[in-house]
Each structure stands twice: as structure tokens, then as C-alpha cells.
Amino acid sequence: MMMNKETMKTTCINLLGARGVLPADIAELVFELQKKYVADLTMKTCDDAVDRVLSKREVHYAILTGVELDMLAEKKGLSEPLQSLIESDAPLYGIDEILALSICNVYGSIGLTNFGYVDKIKPGIVGKLDRMGKETAHCHTFLDDIVGAIAAAAASSVAHNNAL
């Protein structure tokens, strides 16, 4: 079942929605990250930047792969020791950060800093996903990093568009 890029985008947005993440939640992170650098930043600008990131093929593949691993872990569908590593969000696992890095680099290396900051501070939707992952049966090992990375890439895109 091969999909064209537009159908793939819709599939990914629906998948994020089913996991509790709306594009508007990510746009709020972008606003927080960029408001001190862009004088007259609007939510529309942030929404558009998130939409641009969500249109990129490499972002689709990272979302599909990471969220699948989270869902398989919730269903105890992975082999050991991978099941335990992902289910427990083991701090040294690192494959979640590697997938996220492939997203946050789509608008150049400046996405990196914002990603690390969001991952550490866990504002807005990222904090909510992190708490749900820790306190409920949900597994968000990949999802919180993916969301942080989309926000970081979108913030880079805003910064690039705002430059000369």
C-alpha cells in the first residue's frame, strides 16, 4: 500500500491526533520558543510553520516508525529486552532522540538547541505526554521526542523565514 505525499501527511496528522496531539498544540510550543526573537509573532505564523514541517516526507517516516513502536510497547507486542527498554523509557535508550534528530534537522542545525531545551523543560503538550507516559498505561517514549522535534523544526523555519 504505497501512498502519495498528501495522503501520507493526512495519515500522520490523524495518527498524531489519535495519540492526543493536535497541530495547534505543537504550534503553541513554537510560539513559546520564538516569541522573544520575533517581535510581532502570530499564532498563524506558528500554525503555518508546523504545517510545513508536517508536509515533509522524512518527518512522516519518523512519525510512523516512532508511534508504531510506542503502540506496540503498549500492547506488549515487542520482544525482550526491547519491550522493557521502550515501555520504561530507559534513559540511555537514545533511539527516540535519534529519530527526533532526523526531524529537527529538516530546517538546519539550529533546530537542535530548541529540541534539547523542550526535551528538558517539557512545556505544554510535551509535559502532558511525558506525565501520561509515566502515570498511565500509555507509552510515549517516542511521541514526546517527536512532538518536541516538530516544534523545534517549526521554530527554525520561523527563524529562517524571518531572516533576510
> How many other C-beta atoms lie within 10 A of the C-beta of residue 148?
30
C-alpha cell read off for 96: 527516540
Q: Are 146 and 68 in contact (CB under 8 A)?
A: no
Among 84, 127, 134, 136, binds its own copies (CB under 8 A): 84
From the list 33, 31, 16, 36, the residue with the least C-alpha distance to 142 is 16
Contact between 112 and its own copies by CB under 8 A: the answer reads yes
Among 30, 69, 129, 143, binds its own copies (CB under 8 A): 69
Query: What is the chain's alpha carbon radius of gyration, rounded to the nearest angstrom?
Result: 15
Question: Please, which residue, 48 or 61, has the CB nearer to its own copies?
Answer: 61
- Which one of the spans 23-31, 47-55, 57-65, 127-135 is the region binding its own copies (CB under 8 A)? 57-65
From the list 82, 93, 101, 88, the residue with the least C-alpha distance to 139 is 88
C-alpha cell read off for 89: 523509557
Contact between 32 and its own copies by CB under 8 A: the answer reads no
Q: What is the binding site for its own copies (CB under 8 A)?
A: 1-5, 8, 11, 37, 57-58, 61-62, 64-65, 68-69, 71-72, 77-85, 88, 90-95, 97-99, 101-102, 105, 108-110, 112-121, 159-160, 163-164
